[in-house]
Amino acid sequence: MKQKIILVMSLLTVSVMLALVTFLYAALRPRALSSSFGITDNAPRAPELAAGSWLNSDPLTLKGLRGRVVLLEFWTYGCYNCTNTLPTVKRWDERYRERGLTIIGVHSPEFDSEKQIENVRRQVRSHGIRYPVVTDNEHTTWRAYDVGAWPTLILLDKQGRIRYTRVGEGKYDQTENVIKTLLAEQADGATEQTKAGANSINEPLAAVARASAGGGKGAGAGVSEKVIKTDEEWRQALTPEQFHVLREKGTERAFTGAYWDHHEAGGYTCAACGLALFNSEAKFDSSTGWPSFREPISQHSIETETDVSYGMARTEVLCRRCGSHLGHVFDDGPAPTGLRYCINSVSLKFVKQS
């Protein structure tokens, strides 16, 4: 009997160790995912590409490509999902190169054999890739763009700003529509139609924000009025906890925030910039310990990005006006949307309905 107990305990110990190793491996290694994407108007400047070996082109720089739309394709030839994506990327190169699109394949290897330039050259030739490819053997560019999975497609506008990120296969029509939108923009980032109609488009949205926020100071500003501050300016404007969550993408502990069990009628604005985000009618009890909403006031009030931290793929929710981290959205919510916007209380400010 004693030997059986020892055997069972040994098996349990081995199982726990294997589970821990599997978790750490999944969390720390680059991954191939399949269905996450994000698009943003709060566009950061794209980091310059790291030095590497170039195929199909002389060395290029993003500075030298200003005025063209750039698609960075993070891939490796040993990735099955990357191979499936290649035909579409090649088609975009053929279709839009003469119209102002430059595609650069950033080859970020997983295994040592994928670092060998002759192997990369052979695969580029066998796949019929004609657009420029640069090796990223040390994952320097990969890290600079905070990439976490293969394939990842990142679109830069004509000013060299990151405007769209797509992780994994699929959604090719959506990505192509973004390409066409960016190609249609002027060098200053706006189309003629956008310039002519900006006020008429944004005013109704600003009115929604003012109505929901109760007209408080800063609460009714239009989404188009981006709030951009340095980290030091944000530190001065926010509490340490607010700065950690809103600007450093932290998470407050469950069941500790001010609004997880809050039931007053009114609206919830961004604690950083005052943009109206959610109202109490869409709030529900999710029993998770964080404020939960079925939907935002408007999809124009928020934006989403792929979050691949902690070894999983989630959809991060950000304030569209200032880019602050709000929380995440999940597909386990109630009808009619089926969504659960899980938001940090510290990211919000409640405005009581008058």
User: Residue 352 CA to chain centroid, in angstroms?
Assistant: 32
Q: Is 79 a catalytic residue?
A: no
C-alpha neighbours within 13 Å on the C-beta side of residue 18: 6
Pairing of strands 69-75, 101-107: parallel
- Single-letter code of the amino acid located at 312: M
Cβ proximity of 325 and 318 under 8 Å: yes
C-alpha neighbours within 13 Å on the C-beta side of residue 155: 25
The values of phi and psi at residue 50, to 5°, are -75, 160
Nearest CA to 166 out of 33, 312, 38 is that of 38
Q: Which of these is catalytic: 82, 319, 322, 342? A: 342
C-alpha neighbours within 13 Å on the C-beta side of residue 292: 19
CA 3 vs CA 10, 12, 15, 276: distances in Å: 10, 14, 18, 65
Pairing of strands 302-307, 314-319: antiparallel
- Distance between CA 315 and CA 39 in Å, rounded? 12
What does the block give as tokens for 14?
């081995």
The secondary structure element, H or E, covering residue 86 is helix 80-96
What does the block give as tokens for 265?
């009628």
Task: Return the beta strands (E) in 272-332 as ranges.
Answer: 276-279, 283-284, 292-293, 302-307, 314-319, 325-330
The secondary structure element, H or E, covering residue 73 is strand 69-75
Three-state DSSP at 274 gives coil
Nearest CA to 163 out of 66, 49, 46 is that of 46
- Distance between CA 81 and CA 72 in Å, rounded? 16
Q: Active-site residues: which are they?
A: 342
